[in-house]
Chains A and B, each alone.
Chain A
Amino acid sequence: MERPHTVLRVSLHHPVPDPTTFTLVPPRLQHDISPLLVGRGPEAHLRLQLPHLSRRHLSLEPYLEKGGSLLTFSLKALSRKGCVWVNGLTLRFLEQVPLSVVNRVAFSGVQMVVRIEGGTSLEAFVCFFHLSPSPLIYRLQAEETDEWEGVPQEQPPPGPGPQAPGPLGFLHGPSQPSPGGATEIQLQREPQDRELC
């Protein structure tokens, strides 16, 4: 009996309405167990037609945690010039992070939300792509407040060590579950970059 595939539900949005940007994005893509490449070049499995995108901009790599039975994914930045923003962290060339169940990703103006639904097949995984006309991630506008007014809830905790994602982007709509990435991604770098990639 065939085992069910792990499914990646990928929503994509670009703020500039250009019909060519996502023309090569299929509605469904089944991929083997090798890293899935996202970029502008012909070797990319998910090709986006954006001039500032690298030929190989990022990869989604499936693997198994020790003792695990479901595929886990990590996202690695492959662009030497650009960067990739993932769940509040800015990744430069060859930096990588493990993904959570729901992940907010931004690169070259593209907003991408990846939701992972576990399956037991270890042969391949399936991506379903959805093009969103509305933004998936938004930045909170800075508001002028007096000093003694409330501190924003999502402000990173003070001091060194892992930081919470910060007030950069949130999933659009309250129905989305929390990605929970802040505790799983144990990184020792402060998120200095204040802009989405």
Chain B
Amino acid sequence: MSSFEDADTEETLTCLQMTVYHPGHQQNGIFQSRRFFSREKLPSSEVVKFGRNSICQYTFQDKHASRVQFSLHLFKKFDSSVLSFEIKNMSKKTSLIVDNQELGYLNKMDLPPKCMVRFGDYQFLIEKEDGESLEFFEIQFILSTRSLLQENNWLPQKPIPECGNYLSCSTQGNSPIEMGENEW
């Protein structure tokens, strides 16, 4: 029998796409150790750490970052057949903002399928694409040269528009603009 016939049935992998932005990246190469666009396959039982320390799978070349800034933990909900992610703040000094929610040290929460994660000047737009495999998942980094908050008109407190996509439905012009009384 050929190895093709013998091989296990291929399963699609859950992919976590992380679009990253930091204003100092071009000057200081904060994400320099990152391979952008390529997908990395990781075991789902692994805790994925982000931070300055070399124990982290994904490091930031930035003295302002904590040794371990945050971690991602995979789990399976009882009523689901796909992987879910939790994010935990591992920094004692810096809060982690997930959409509108602020996480202190060791606080954790389930990661929504699409969300903005921020700390300091760092911005991560995280989008999850479900797959079948429970054993492995993929992670893909994309570098943004523009602020993701501006680029995406990130207004997480607003409901998702009918087209279901923040990227294609600009809310610019619909939001009230703060101005002084004499600015008319």
Q: Is the CB of B106 within 8 A of A33?
A: yes
Name B's interface SS. Answer: loop
Query: What mask results when residues 127 to 150 of chain A are scored 1 for a CB within 8 Å of chain B, else 0?
Result: 000000000000000000000000
From known contacts A187-B78, A188-B79, infer whether A56 and B45 are also in contact, taking CB-CB under 8 Å: yes
Q: Is the CB of A66 within 8 A of B107?
A: yes
Which residues from chain B contact A63 at a C-beta distance below 8 Å?
A: 88, 106-108
The complex places the Cα of A166 from the Cα of B92 at a distance, in Å, of 41
Task: Check if B44 is an interface residue, CB within 8 A of chain A.
Answer: yes
Task: Check if A76 is an interface residue, CB within 8 A of chain B.
Answer: yes
From known contacts A62-B106, A66-B107, infer whether A93 and B47 are also in contact, taking CB-CB under 8 Å: no
B66: min CB distance to chain A, Å? 13
Q: What is the interface residue range for chain B against chain A?
A: 20 to 34
Q: Is the CB of B107 within 8 A of A122?
A: no
The complex places the Cα of A56 from the Cα of B76 at a distance, in Å, of 17
The complex places the Cα of A93 from the Cα of B83 at a distance, in Å, of 11
The CB with the most chain B CB atoms within 10 A, among A66, A94, A96, A187, is that of: A94
Task: Check if A64 is an interface residue, CB within 8 A of chain B.
Answer: yes
Q: Is the CB of B83 within 8 A of A35?
A: no
Q: Is the CB of B75 within 8 A of A76?
A: yes
Q: What is the interface residue range for chain A against chain B?
A: 20 to 34
The complex places the Cα of A122 from the Cα of B83 at a distance, in Å, of 29
Which residues from chain A contact B88 at a C-beta distance below 8 Å?
A: 63
From known contacts A34-B47, A35-B47, A63-B88, infer whether A94 and B75 are also in contact, taking CB-CB under 8 Å: yes
A184: min CB distance to chain B, Å? 15
A19: min CB distance to chain B, Å? 30
Q: Is the CB of A96 within 8 A of B75?
A: yes
Q: Is the CB of A66 within 8 A of B104?
A: yes
Nearest residue, chain B, Cβ from A97: B78
Q: Tell which of B47, B83, B106 touches A64, judged by Cβ atoms closer than 8 Å.
A: B106
Task: Check if B134 is an interface residue, CB within 8 A of chain A.
Answer: yes
The CB with the most chain B CB atoms within 10 A, among A93, A122, A188, is that of: A93
B92: min CB distance to chain A, Å? 8
The complex places the Cα of A155 from the Cα of B176 at a distance, in Å, of 57
The complex places the Cα of A92 from the Cα of B92 at a distance, in Å, of 33
Q: Tell which of B76, B77, B108 touches A93, judged by Cβ atoms closer than 8 Å.
A: B76
Task: Check if B58 is an interface residue, CB within 8 A of chain A.
Answer: no
Q: Which residues of A contact B (CB under 8 A)?
A: 33-35, 56, 61-66, 71, 76, 78, 80, 92-96, 122, 187-189
Given A94-B45, A189-B78: 16 more A-B contacts, CB < 8 Å: A61-B73, A62-B106, A63-B106, A63-B108, A64-B106, A64-B107, A65-B107, A66-B103, A80-B134, A92-B76, A93-B134, A95-B75, A95-B76, A95-B77, A122-B92, A188-B79
Q: Which residues of B contact A (CB under 8 A)?
A: 44-45, 47, 73-79, 83, 88, 90, 92, 103-108, 134-135
Subset of 30 A-B contacts with CB under 8 Å: A33-B106, A34-B47, A35-B47, A56-B45, A61-B73, A64-B105, A64-B106, A64-B107, A65-B107, A66-B104, A66-B107, A71-B106, A76-B75, A78-B45, A80-B135, A93-B76, A93-B134, A94-B44, A94-B45, A94-B74, A94-B75, A94-B83, A95-B75, A95-B77, A95-B78, A96-B75, A122-B92, A122-B106, A187-B78, A188-B79
